[in-house]
Amino acid sequence: YFLKLFFQIKDVNNILKKIFQEFITISHRGGSLLAPENTLAAFENTVALGAHYYELDVRMSSDDSLVIMHDESINRTTNGLG
């Protein structure tokens, strides 16, 4: 609830940039509150806001390909199943 209210603040990007200047910051799943987690858009937001690092999750798919995905299945983050 607090985070939803926080992101309704008009100047949230400037507030986040200030926080990122004051602390060593790591964006979880690439800053998943501003864009879908573990996506290029999330990683670009992380860089634009000035985070020092971003965390991402790498998994092996059933065909032995590496994918950036937090969960073991796609159920939570897509409209697919598996």
Question: Which residues are known catalytic residues?
Answer: 28, 70
Q: What is the DSSP string of 19-55?
A: HHHHS--EEGGGTTTTSSTTSHHHHHHHHHHT-SEE-
Pairing mode, strands 53-54 and 26-27: parallel
